[in-house]
Chains A and B, each alone.
Chain A
Amino acid sequence: MKYFILIIFLLSSAYIFYEGLRDDPTYIPSNLISEEIPEFKIESIKQYESFSSADLKSGEIKVVNFFASWCPPCKVEHPQLKKLSEKYKLYGIAKKDEIRNLTKWLDDLGNPFVKIGLDKNGMTSIDWGVYGLPETFLIDHKGMIIHKHVGPIMKKDLEYINKLITNVK
């Protein structure tokens, strides 16, 4: 009996550690997945139409992108955002950005967003649990967050995002 307990104990500990080896401890999922989007307020920018949480709670599937003109990886994902904007409505939130730089950035690279707001002091980003730029959220027609993408969206990620959206539809 005692040997049996010993073996069970060793095997179960080994199982935990073995599973632990396959797990990436640095991966942190968002608490907001499958939750309704947080209430937020963003500043509007003259040339662009702004939005609020109410805008995201109805209608079709939307993509919310946190970006900034000072963020080089955001430039990397820009072509992919343009691709996405052909199919879906993109909402942009610029974090801690200067309006002048932001408009220049959008003029140079093109504007994929239907609406844009400015998160001047970064509070909205905190509410959304954003910890690095860029970050992208997929919102379903009821205003629930269905997916969060951390870091720039690359070409290979587009396929996954498209698949995810068709599944939800």
Chain B
Amino acid sequence: MTAEFGIFFLVLTFVISSLGFFSTITSGNKKKFLTLIHHEKISLLLFFFTILSFFCLTYSFLISDFSLNVVAKNSNSQLPTIYKITGVWGNHEGSILLWLLVMTFFGFLFSNSKIPDQNLKIQTLSVHNSLIFLVCTFVIFTSNPFERSFPPPIEGSDLNPLLQDPGLIIHPPMLYLGYVGFSIVYSISLAVLMLKKKTNFIEILKPWVFMSWIFLTAGIGLGSWWAYYELGWGGFWFWDPVENASLLPWLTASALIHTIMISSKKNLLINWTLLLSIITFLLSLLGTFLVRSGVLVSVHAFASDPTRGIFILLMLIIVSFSGLFYFLRRTELYSSKHQIKLVSREGAISLNNIFLISLTFTILIGTIYPLVSSIFFKSKISVGAPFFNSILTPVMVPMIFGMIIGPFLRWGNDDLLKLLNRLKILVFLFLFSSILLWYVNFGGPVIAIIFFIFAAWIIIASLFELTKFMNFKPKLRINSLPAKYFSQSISHIGIGLIIIGATGSSILKIEKIQFQEIGEIIKINQYDVEFKGVKVVEGPNFLSQTGVFEVSKDDAHVINLKPEKRFYNANKQVTTEAAIYSTIFGDLYIAIGDKNSIKNSVSWTTRIWYNPFTIWIWLGVFSLVTGGLISFFRVIKKKK
């Protein structure tokens, strides 16, 4: 019965959201058939019914109602309760319902916020409810989570073991909050463009941009962390099409949080801000399309279906066309004749935008090129890490310089020589840190040293900016420091930390793969890793072969590491659980493979990595998110 209620609530959402859709189509008419009150009520109802529907699905998972297809395929009665709940979005149907839920929630939030321009609010809600209508159509007609199978199986086939993991509890919802957050950004921008009169919208847009960016950053960071310890491949980023798909909107969103500052302070680049808002959401949708349709080979291919692909493609066309059409139509309205000087804060931010966008398009082309090549040239190719790494480096260098110099440039117009004079101490610090780093890493790979130096420069420059500010006002306390300096410095320091972590764990990583016999010691970096043997441990719904490794350094015991190989009972799948010992200097990472019996001796395939500075990546992501949060709360406070 619960499932019937669930689908009933979905249909209600569908019917009510169609009102929003028709109001958008007829928005050209002078006489509006829905007023602001109507739109606000609609947003409330949509959220209310979607959350009820979502509860129905969650309940079905909790009571293991295997008569529902989704539950039968993605859950199991042995599954721990927490994974029964996360199983709701560990599959295509449920995750799209979650997408819808987040979307209606944001619509509801927006309908409750104070917007001075009533027309803009009406138009935004009507665009947003149209998007909800499209997504809801998609759920009901191609991805109905409440579909039943008859006869129901006695036992479910279990949640994909890779998804039975704490990292996966929050990674997809975070990413969705980010992706879907940009749907509001899109709705506001399209609404602005649809209104014939000029309106002041930047301050309305700002908190949504920051919020979505924060969620997207956290979502990508969590995904990367999950891949690092769960896949057992020893890396944190694989340039997989689906990873790229999440990186693309992140890059344009990062460009957007920079331009929106110019738009808000100087009333410039408004068209560009609008275009970036639209493109960011389009790229989020494109990401969904790539994940859900299976057009590209990816580790995320768990939920692919071509018929759904066609629907998302249609949605993508409708949303792209409306956004870009109105953008072209109204370019005149917000264009400005004011020229931006290259050597100025605006100039640095614009340059940063150019590089971010170039990077976005190069990664986009690299990601979909296998598809183009297969269709037009009939040749199957794959574009992998070497391509992406080689394009990343040249674009990173000017961006790093921009990041270092930009914050010190004055708005409007500045002079490079004067700037150099202002930053004498900083230049000295740069030289000193470079020599120091060169000395410490002498003999190591040159490219790694260069990246370490760049990262050090970013961090020093960001810290310097804060201390400089405090010097001017010696009595200044931390809590009276303007938040904007903090947020910017902390975010930039985050980028510096990520560069250090990425350089360490890719260029400097040490990898040892071998047949290791029991009692055998492998030396890696300064550690001695002794293989003690394998024991069988029983988990709630799996059997685990747990390897025991004793790690010591200079004959002193450090830690016992226990990597696992898990055999899941229900779907006979095997997963690798790496064991990681993290320190700020690097991670010792062990994964265990198969047993090998060659000529009476028994050995196991073991893979041992030493990944220098990996933890700095997660600290960097944390720092980025913190910086974003400070900005977000500042914007909200200012608005009030």
- As a 0/1 sequence over residues 12 to 39 of chain A, the CB contacts with chain B under 8 angstroms (1 = contact) are 0010111111110111110000000000
Contacts of A28 in B (CB 8 A): 380
CA distance A57 to B370 in the complex (A): 35
Return the contact of A25 from the options B297, B310, B324, B372 (Cβ within 8 A): B297
Q: Smallest Cβ distance from A17 to chain B, in angstroms?
A: 5
> CB within 8 Å of A: which of B287-334?
289, 293-297, 306, 309-310, 313, 316-317, 320-321, 324-325, 328
A3 near B325 (CB under 8 angstroms)? yes
- Chain A's nearest CB lies how many Å from the CB of B297? 5
The reply to whether B295 and A23 form a contact with Cβ atoms under 8 Å apart is yes
A2 contacts B by Cβ under 8 Å: yes
Contacts of A14 in B (CB 8 A): 313, 316-317
State which of B313, B368, B380 has its C-beta within 8 Å of the C-beta of A21.
Answer: B313
Residues of B close to A168: CB separation below 8 A = none
B320–A16 CB distance below 8 A:
no
Specify the main secondary structure of chain B where it touches its partner. Answer: helix
Interchain nearest-CB distance for A61 vs B (Å)? 26
Are A25 and B321 also in contact (CB < 8 A) when A16-B371, A16-B375 are? no
The answer, yes or no, to whether B335 is at the interface (CB within 8 Å) is: no
Judged by a CB distance under 8 angstroms, whether B374 is at the interface is: yes
Closest to A23 in B: B374
Tell me the bound Cα distance from A141 to B387 in angstroms: 41
Q: Are B321 and A26 in contact (CB under 8 A)?
A: no
Contacts of B316 in A (CB 8 A): 14, 17
Which range contains the number of A residues in contact with the other chain? 10 to 19
Alpha-carbon distance A66/B289, docked complex (angstroms): 39
B374–A18 contact, CB under 8 A? no
- Interface SS of chain A: helix
In the complex, A46 Cα to B289 Cα: how many Å?
57
For residue A10, CB closer than 8 A to chain B, the reply is: yes
Task: Tell whether A6 is near chain B: CB-to-CB under 8 Å.
Answer: yes
The answer to whether A16 and B368 have CB atoms under 8 Å apart is yes
> Complex formed: what's the CA distance from A17 to B245 in Å?
15
Q: Which residues of A contact B380 (CB under 8 A)?
A: 27-29
Question: What's the nearest-Cβ distance from chain B to residue A35, in Å?
Answer: 14
Establish whether residues A25 and B296, one from each chain, have CB atoms under 8 Å apart when the complex forms: yes
Contacts of B306 in A (CB 8 A): 21-22
Chain A residue nearest to B307 in the complex (CB):
A21
A20-B295, A25-B296, A25-B297 as given contacts; A6 in contact with B310, CB under 8 Å: no
B310 / chain A contacts, CB cutoff of 8 Å: 18, 21
CB atoms of A21 and B293 under 8 A apart: yes
Q: A25-B294, A25-B295 are in contact. Are A10 and B317 (CB under 8 A)?
A: yes
CB distance from B44 to the nearest CB of A (A): 34
A142 to B371, CA, bound (A): 34
* Known A16-B371, A17-B289, A17-B371; 14 more pairs at CB < 8 Å: A3-B328, A6-B325, A14-B313, A17-B293, A17-B316, A19-B375, A20-B295, A20-B371, A20-B375, A21-B310, A22-B306, A23-B295, A26-B297, A27-B380
Q: List 19 A-B contacts (CB under 8 A).
A: A6-B328, A10-B317, A16-B368, A16-B375, A17-B309, A17-B316, A18-B313, A20-B293, A20-B296, A20-B374, A21-B295, A21-B306, A21-B313, A22-B306, A23-B295, A25-B294, A25-B296, A25-B297, A28-B380
Q: Which 4 A-B pairs have the closest CB atoms?
A: A20-B295, A20-B371, A25-B297, A21-B309
